Amino acid sequence: MESSDVDAAVRVQVPGKVNLALSVSPRREDGYHELTTLFMAVSLYDIVTATPARRGRLSVEVSGEGADQVPLDGSNLAIKAAQLLRSRHGTAELGVHLMIEKRIPVAGGMAGGSADAAGALLACSVLWGLDVDQSELLTLAAELGSDVPFSLMGGCALGTGRGEQLAPTLCKGSYEWVFALAHGGLSTAKVFADYDLYSAAQTTPRMIVDQLMTGLASHDLEAVRMGMCNDLEHSAIRLHPPILETLEEGLNIGGITSIVSGSGPTVAFLCADDDDAVNLAVGLSSFTSVRAVLRAKGPVPGARVLSNS
């Protein structure tokens, strides 16, 4: 522990996400892709705790789901978030020790790293007593990564640009989810590279995303099912073939529809109700292609402070 005052701590809860729709345009000259995506925040949470550290010191420790896969050096996105916040709104002597308790899958297409960055932005801004409002935090978040702003915002939102330009969307009621975690993870960069090689001409029409938004606004599960889509799904399957068995065979047990979450390899199942979700979770747990099964509800709020002492 690097803390200079173990009694001072800010605990922030930040959710994972599922992309109900992900439409990917061909790669631009700058290497990025134009995205149209519909985010939903779900009740799988990482906890980021920030405590003071000696002058200028930034450090991180990680526990929980996939902790051994998370870097602890300057490449950690939460550390980058603290550095960026300090450089824009703080002073060089500010230090922090970040403790991250993970439940969001690592490299699972559910924005675990982005969630931790969002949590670090909020926790450090409170710990350091910085006068930074939500809009300023969102601006910093967009510099850190495409999914980081949504981790701050939560709820449901339409993302455009690289996914960082957000517009909150109406979502009536609550949705039951079951997530099948795969053995190992997938690199987002490798999934996009495969998409560029094989699938760039297969962009989902915007009208499909619009249909999904209409379904969410009225809690029409059939319209939501018809609108759910992911342009990266075929690439994720090519890079991790067991995903296909999980997608297809899982639906024989239950669930309304299945989709690869983001860049994968986590598979998300939308369920009709709690009983459907329980049955599906039990059935999926016997699949050799599934490492673990998690249940969640959505939408839920974005990053929020749990305690400040």
297 flagged as catalytic: no
Q: What share of the chain is helix, strand, coil (3-state, %, to 5)?
A: 35, 30, 35
Torsion sign across C-alpha atoms 235, 241, 244, 247: negative
Spatial contact of 290 and 246, defined as CB atoms under 8 Å apart: yes
Range of the domain at 134: 10-169
Q: What is the pLDDT of residues 51-87, one digit of tens each?
A: 999 989 999 999 998 899 999 999 999 999 999 999 9
Q: What is the pLDDT of residues 122-132, one digit of tens each?
A: 999 999 999 99
User: Domain check: are 104 and 182 in the same one?
Assistant: no
Q: Which of the following is catalytic: 46, 116, 147, 194?
A: 147
User: Domain check: are 204 and 155 in the same one?
Assistant: no
Find where tokens 């449901």 sit.
Answer: 156
Q: What is the pLDDT of residues 3-51, one digit of tens each?
A: 344 458 999 999 999 999 999 988 878 877 888 999 999 999 999 999 9
DSSP class of residue 147?
T
Chosen domain end from 117, 141, 169: 169
pTM: 0.92
How many angstroms separate the Cα of 188 from the Cα of each of 68, 78, 113, 145?
19, 18, 12, 12
How many angstroms separate the Cα of 16 from the Cα of each of 40, 74, 104, 250, 282?
9, 22, 6, 22, 22
Chosen domain end from 169, 199, 231: 169
Cβ within 8 Å of residue 68, ≥6 positions away: none
Chosen domain end from 122, 144, 169: 169
User: Domain check: are 213 and 160 in the same one?
Assistant: no
What distance in Å separates the CA atoms of residue 211 and residue 227, rounded to the nearest whole number?
Answer: 6
E strand or H helix at 181: strand 175-182
